[in-house]
Structure 1
Amino acid sequence: MVFESANPSVVRSVRQRDLLNSWLRLYARQQTLPRLAEYQPERMKEELPDLVFYIVDTSRQPVRFIIDSDSTRISTAYGTTGKGRDLDDYLGPIMAAVVVPVYQECLRRALPTYTVSMIDDVHGRAVAYERVLMPFSDGDGVNHIIASLKAISEHGGFEIRNLMRGPHRVPVPKVHAVIDRDLFHRAPARTRAGDIVEFD
């Protein structure tokens, strides 16, 4: 799996960009991975249904990613809750072969990763599945990852139930990126006339 080099503007979702910007502010301030306890985005509560928290277990090889939260929408997409389970076991061998390398790259690079994959729902409607992974450290390498997962369809409505569990529904990768450029967050700047200029 090949990952392109990217800056934060690669992230399409405004809400995911907000989450990433909160991570970038902490990273830029310390020039090191933030601690999980420090990460407190303004809209964290609103985003919780689309977030999954992982414990990175480096005591075993290969490294295991342990699901440490329940996520309503994600559990619906996968058909079952995964709290306390290894990501590999939760996904099953076919889906794990597509998904787990993204987590491994986030761990290896100790930087956010971003992916977009396409998958059809049970009615054949194309759905874009966007994933942002953000690594955290308590001082000894990456030991936590937060995943923001968004499913979006140009058709508007789609069936999220068991979206990722159909026997023939394997996501087709469209974007694989490591966010390794412009690792800082620039707040909006004011011009002399008082207008606000937004930076990407």
Structure 2
Amino acid sequence: MDFDSATPFVVKSIKQRDLLNSWLRLYAREQRIPPIDDYQPERLAEELGDLVYYTVDVMQRPVRLTIESEGTRMAAAYGHTGKGRRLDEYVGPRLAAIVMPVYDECVQRALPVYTVSDIDDIYGRIVAYERLLLPFSGGGRVTHVIASLKTISEDGGFEIDNLMRGNDTLPTPKLRAVIDRDLFHRMPGRIPPCDAIEFS
């Protein structure tokens, strides 16, 4: 699975950009991924419904992620909560083939990963699924990942329930990027560069 090289400006959602900027501020201090306990973005409580926390076992191959959150929008999209379950088992074999490489890239590169995919809801409306993965460490390897999951439809309303399992069509990838350039927090008001994404 190929990933583009990107700057933080690749992230579309303002709220996801805020989450990323909070991570970048911590990263800039030591030039390494921060401990999860230090991650306290403003208005974090407002975002909890769209966040999923994972613990990471890098001793397993492929990397094993265990879901630590419940009651999120992801639970609605997949039809049930996944707390305490391995991510690959939770999403099932069909989706695991396209989901797990994204998380593996985040863990192996120890860098934020951002993806956008199109999904049809049960009524055939196209929904953009924007996923931002942020890695955290206890001092060495990645030990935790936080995923911010946003869904939006140009048609306006859409059905979130069973969005990921509601039809036989797999999500269509539109963008897969590793945020590996300009890893520092820019103050608001600066003009972003034109080369937010570098295509290979």
Name 1:198's counterpart in structure 2: 190
User: How far apart in 2 are the matches of 1:141 and 1:28?
Assistant: 18
- Offset of residue 199 of structure 1: 4.1
Name 2:196's counterpart in structure 1: none
Question: Partner amino acid for 1:26?
Answer: L
Name 1:18's counterpart in structure 2: 18
Matched, 1:109 2:109: yes
User: How far apart in 2 are the matches of 1:32 and 1:72?
Assistant: 29
For the residue of structure 2 that corresponds to 1:95, the secondary structure is: helix
User: How far apart in 1 are the matches of 2:149 and 2:65?
Assistant: 16
Name 2:141's counterpart in structure 1: 141
Name 1:46's counterpart in structure 2: 46
TM-score by length of 1: 0.93
TM-score by length of 2: 0.93
1:118-157 correspondence runs (5 A): 118-157=118-157
Name 1:92's counterpart in structure 2: 92
Question: Partner amino acid for 2:122?
Answer: V
**Over alpha carbons, which structure has the higher Rg?**
1
Percent of paired sites with the same residue: 64
Question: Partner amino acid for 1:88?
Answer: D
The more displaced of 64-73 and 154-163 is 64-73
- The alignment of Structure 1 onto Structure 2 pairs a total of residues equal to 192
User: How far apart in 2 are the matches of 1:162 and 1:74?
Assistant: 9
- Offset of residue 167 of structure 1: 4.0
For the residue of structure 1 that corresponds to 2:81, the secondary structure is: coil
Is there any run of 5+ residues in structure 1 with no aligned partner, and where? 189-196
- Residue by residue, what CA displacement relative to the aligned partner does 1:128-155 show, whole Å, maximum 9, x if unpaired? 0000000000012101000000010001
- Offset of residue 107 of structure 1: 0.8
- Offset of residue 43 of structure 1: 1.4
- Offset of residue 30 of structure 1: 1.4
Is there any run of 5+ residues in structure 2 with no aligned partner, and where? 193-200
